[in-house]
Chain A
Amino acid sequence: MSVSHRPYTLVAELTYRCPLRCVYCSNPLDYAGHADALDTAGWISVFRAAEDLGVVQLNLTGGEPLLRDDLEPLIEEARKLDLYTNLITSGIPLARERLARFRQLGLDNVQLSIQDVEPAASDRIAGLRSFERKLEVARWVKELGFPLTMNTVLHRDNLDHVEEIVALAERLSADRLGLANTQYLGWALLNRQALLPSRDQLARARVVAAAARDRLRGRMEVLFVFPDYYTDLPKACMDGWGRRFIVVSPDGLALPCHLAHTLPGVTFENVRDRPLGEIWEGSSGFNAFRGEAWMPEPCRSCDRRAIDFGGCRCQAFHLAGDAALTDPACSLSPHHALVERARADAESPAVSPSLTYRSRAAVVPQ
């Protein structure tokens, strides 16, 4: 196997179920149609196969991974495989005793999402009263000796609170703070009008985040991810298709990214039907956008193609209708006007648009 095709990270989406209903949730709109198909043994064999391919990082995520009652044996196995295991969670539902067991079993890091700094604002985005319980979970995480990553997804309603978000992370003694600007896919794309910030708002938040990063250097890692809607350059989504990440969805599909199965015409295979190594190496889905052969102009002749790999395939499809196009976030894309128009709308928001909460109900087509 060529070294460039070694996966480093397995993203295990253990379930799409979740008690929260975040308006920015990156899960697919039809998540409710994807049942939990892998049992404990199924996931364990995925972990083993992934480690064999070279994976060293494991993200336990979803949906809400805490809804799986077999997290304990999964963490235990991950530790046996010497994987660096990160639990990515809303913190709900959780008891302190369970978290203590995770610690004993060798879980490495807890990444807790907190929506905002005030209970009302946070709960409004989450669609569930949860803020106070999240703070309590954060305290347990530190008391039990885990490193804590706090993650806050940024959007129009909380970008002016970055200073307070940093202060909250400091109060909770977080080791890392992810200030992750919303990626406009999944439910976030549905709610884009309500969530997309203005350029000024972002510029101000960036200054605050940079100051916090410098001030806290060496104590807390502060990451501010600027949104691709405002950079005119696309992100190197997933570090390139089929290069470093394997996502396995709750129903067992092995995917290059967490929304790849929303792309029509690309076939993905199930870990219950074929060994993971074969899927990674040889499946048409993983090879669909690997390398440069698939690239259209302007990417094909662009100097940045080895840096950003043409951007995000899901964004190309969900904005411009074809996954094999240049990401519309790129200013060279013939579809860049789609992004410019969304930005213009964000400068002069009409009446404040209503929020669509994540739910299992059939969803308005995009």
Chain B
Amino acid sequence: MIATDAKPRLAAKARLRFDRKTSRYLLLYPERGLELNATAADVARLCTGEHTVAAIVDQLVEKYADRPREVIERETLAFLAALADRALLQDTT
């Protein structure tokens, strides 16, 4: 699992694109794409290599004030793990 002080960054092959048809963000990479929900899209947008996982969670907690921090943290880590599994994150240390 990804450490909370890692600074994740999207892999070079991945690109975010807003989808007019569904009003959601797609994370595109060769021959594939992931349809992201709102939180996942926020996480992906913050994967620039500048923010630690903890800082990303902080930002989301602020934005989604009605949702418990534990839930947001769990979702963020799960999403990052799914990205890492698909080689969609660059080395983050």
Contacts and interface: CB of A to CB of B under 8 A. Distances in A.
B12 A57 contact: no
A56 B26 contact: yes
B12 A175 contact: yes
A78 to B, nearest CB: 12
A217 B33 CA distance: 18
B72 interface: no
Given A86-B31, A111-B30, A147 B12 contact: yes
Contact of B30 (A6, A56, A147): A147
A217 B15 CA distance: 20
B67 interface: no
Q: How large, as a class, is the contact surface on chain A?
A: 20 to 34
Contact of A8 (B30, B33, B84, B86): B33
Q: How large, as a class, is the contact surface on chain B?
A: 10 to 19
Contacts of A9: 31
Interface string A1-41: 00100101100000000000000000000000000000000
Interface in A303-334: none
A84 interface: yes
Interface stretch (A62-70, A218-226, A263-271, A345-353): A218-226
A86 to B, nearest CB: 5
A176 B11 CA distance: 12
B19 interface: yes
Interface of B: 11-13, 15, 17, 19, 21, 26, 28-31, 33, 84-87, 89
25 contacts: A3-B21, A8-B33, A9-B31, A54-B21, A56-B17, A57-B28, A57-B33, A82-B17, A84-B30, A84-B33, A86-B30, A86-B31, A108-B30, A109-B13, A111-B30, A145-B12, A146-B12, A147-B11, A175-B11, A175-B12, A176-B13, A176-B30, A217-B85, A218-B87, A218-B89
